[in-house]
């Protein structure tokens, strides 16, 4: 069965600081990996996704994520956080070898201090 672990429930950073949100997954085949962002009162928006190829993936809003198969990780990074990045971030895993419906992690709440 596929699963996703986001070990940090909350992360607090200062505006302008760098950010890394952790995501570990469990999947029996080659995973499809996603990061979504949920702003307050909004639905989820896709930030980036990884299917194959270059393990460093660029997304929208200046975010990137790196797929590390040896560590079963897909951490999300941003070099300089803006106050508007405060939101809930969800990592998700799925793949053609199993259910095509992605499994979501519990989410990490990002708080940005001015």
Partner 1 sequence: DTAVSQTPKYLVTQMGNDKSIKCEQNLGHDTMYWYKQDSKKFLKIMFSYNNKELIINETVPNRFSPKSPDKAHLNLHINSLELGDSAVYFCASSPVQDLSTEAFFGQGTRLTVV
The residues binding partner 1 (CB under 8 A) are 32, 36, 41-46, 49, 51, 88, 90, 94-96, 99-102, 104, 106-107, 109
Using left for φ > 0, alpha for ψ between -120 and 50, and beta otherwise, residue 85 falls in alpha
- What's the DSSP call for residue 84? G
Residue 15 or residue 109: which is nearer to partner 1 going by CB? 109
Residue 15 or residue 104: which is nearer to partner 1 going by CB? 104
Q: How far is the CB of 46 from partner 1 (least distance, A)?
A: 5
Query: Which is nearest to 40 in space by CA: 84, 103, 6?
Result: 84
Residue 72 or residue 109: which is nearer to partner 1 going by CB? 109
Q: How far is the CB of 69 from partner 1 (least distance, A)?
A: 18
Q: How far is the CB of 70 from partner 1 (least distance, A)?
A: 23
Residue 13 or residue 44: which is nearer to partner 1 going by CB? 44
Burial class of residue 11, CB neighbours in 10 A (0-12, 13-18, 19+):
middle
Q: Which residue has the tokens 């996704």?
A: 49
Q: How far is the CB of 11 from partner 1 (least distance, A)?
A: 14
- What's the DSSP call for residue 42? S
């Amino acid at each position: 069965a596929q699963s996703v672990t986001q070990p940090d429930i909350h992360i607090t950073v200062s505006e302008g600081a760098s950010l890394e949100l952790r995501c570990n997954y469990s999947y029996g085949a080659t995973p499809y990996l996603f990061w979504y962002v949920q702003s307050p009162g909004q639905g989820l928006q896709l930030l980036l996704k990884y299917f194959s190829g270059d393990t460093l993936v660029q997304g929208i809003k200046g975010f990137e994520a790196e797929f590390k198969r040896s560590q079963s990780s897909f951490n999300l990074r941003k070099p300089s956080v803006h106050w508007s990045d405060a939101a809930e971030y969800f990592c998700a895993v799925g793949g053609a070898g199993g259910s095509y419906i992605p499994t979501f992690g519990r989410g990490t709440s990002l708080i940005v201090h001015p």
